[in-house]
Structure 1
Amino acid sequence: MMFDLPDSKTLYAALLARDEAYEGRAYVGVSSTGIFCRLTCPARKPKFENCHFFATPGACIEAGFRACKRCTPLAAAAREDPMVQRLLTALDKRPAYRWGEADLVAMGLDPSTVRRSFRRHFGMTFLDMARQRRLREGFTTLKAGEPVIAAQIEAGFDSPSAFRAAFARLTGLAPGSFRSDALLLADWIDTPLGAMIAVSCAHRLHLLEFADRKALPREMARLQASQPGGIGFGRPAPTDQVAEELRLYFSGKSAHFKTPLALHGTAFQRAVWTYLQGIPAGETRSYSQIATDLGRPSATRAVARANGANQLAVVVPCHRVLSADGSLTGYGGGLWRKQRLIEIEAQLARSRGTAA
């Protein structure tokens, strides 16, 4: 059963105490190992700054973490439900297979029952879990310069059209539309809060979004349409730079982003985004406060729209904007990420204060 997670410090205390009250209700992803665990895991406890807490195993998987082999966080649900155990075992045996509802029927299972069970236990469906495992392989293969058919096979898709459709849902572009001579190049950056897609030219970063953001396909398609040379695969200097800056950020060492940015928007949107970059890490603002500071006190809604149109997550810190009453609101990457980003920056601010 899903429930609202308490703050990270409370969950970290529960992790240290191996508190069984959170069994099946909260999980921890450890950025230093890439593994997620139950809070009762007997393994050596990680540092607080390396811990990222989630309500479901599915959220851990979507954020890029692998299940711990010691506490087997997927096994609790499997023991409770033989059907889940059977499907997890089948997935482990055939991780590259393109699973579909017909396969479930052939196993004597009802697809709707499977869907409900996996959502209840993991926060995602069985087919979503299998698809998540495959698409990353296809992206990596395309980036290496291999043809679409090779990426399709590597990702475990039997049908070229199915692979193209799944890839387009992730990126907004068909795999064949990525060009080898493009000036804008896309790459994948792993972070403790999930994979991000970065698009850069040789001089500036144009897009940085979490891979599961619903607006990403639309943003990618719009970016491609605005560039005569289209988009290809690769890692120019700005992507390398922001990947290193993100590493320092998530390790709690620095919140300074100096990667040159390309801000694609209206003059007002660019003014809002520039303002956001001036908010110190560890501080927040409200939409109305930003509107007032920009000399447009009646433009609160326009500020909110500009905030939502930002396509440079983290480096243009739209997560530092809260509602007037101080509550979390309106973050395309998910409110759980917004909360964690604010916690990371609060810790960075406290560290600066201690150092001073």
Structure 2
Amino acid sequence: MNSMTSPLLPVETMPPPDDCWAAFLRRDRAMDGRFVGAVTSTGIYCRPSCAARHPKRKNMRFYPDPAAAQAAGFRACLRCRPDEVARDVRAVSEALTLIEAADAPLSLEQVAAHAGYAPHHFHRLFKRATGMTPAAYARSLRAGRLAAALEGDESVTDAIYAAGYNAPSRAYADAATHMGMTPSAWKDGGRGVTIRHAVMPTALGPMLVAATDRGLVRISFDEDEGELRRRFPHADIVAGDDDFLALARRVAALTDDPVGGDAALPMDVAGTAFQQAVWAALRAIPAGETRTYKQVAAAIGRPEAVRATGTACGDNNLAVLIPCHRVLRSDGGLGGYAYGLNRKKALLEREMDR
């Protein structure tokens, strides 16, 4: 959506006790690792997402980490295993590094063994953290490399092999999923691809809605057909017909009813594996709630990649539908937004009022 990068953020401290309690009540997995809750009546401490029955508020104490809870005389819950949160995060981070460095596709068994988990368990852990399976992450990563290679002077065939593919057929299959068009069309500015568009009125200003036959490729404010022609100079860019206008109205309605959302809206967005993971994490944030860049980075298994997470938020091409407006700075500030902080504030206020 823009080239915004997140500012340097202060180290996050444990949330206030009332916020910690609220996180326990909603079993907020995104808060795992930020603090633990200890129960005075049982002597155990848990992660916020623990599925156990909630104790009375008066029996809860909150600590910044397991070590602090242990020092206070509490022991770890055997159900949610709060001491394993850091281990899980490290395992996913190490698996991502392994996949990114691999010259050839790795099997689930190879990735899980490297992380020290059983394959079926690690498959669930990895998908929960990144929104993708290890295999899907690897395919998205190669597609991102292919897109970058196609922007150079190499031929399409050379770019395919440079991206790590063993055969063009696999590259074309991945391109259909992750790039929305064939490698040759991508290299040639969208040649042979039809993009329909419309500018819809909304309470927050004019909204550009554009889509290929596969799904939405651009949702933005204060833009028009000219932006599409700049991005896809050789695509066949046409005004939307009645069917497309029905789709565009559904998109525009998100600004008036962001809580309702519309998970069924088709998307056709290209991105690296990291970007795809960030965007999946953004879509998992419930309307009316916010996350910090650090929390999103931790949710995808990359707690050290805070600035890269901010950049991925800024590269989002589907405003509102992929809700990057729900991400704030660690100090509570709005951070950045391609279409103005007033719009970001308005979107958040609408969600929180419903």
Pick the TM interval, shorter chain: 0.3 to 0.5
With structure 1 as the length reference, what TM-score do the two structures score?
Answer: 0.42
With structure 2 as the length reference, what TM-score do the two structures score?
Answer: 0.42
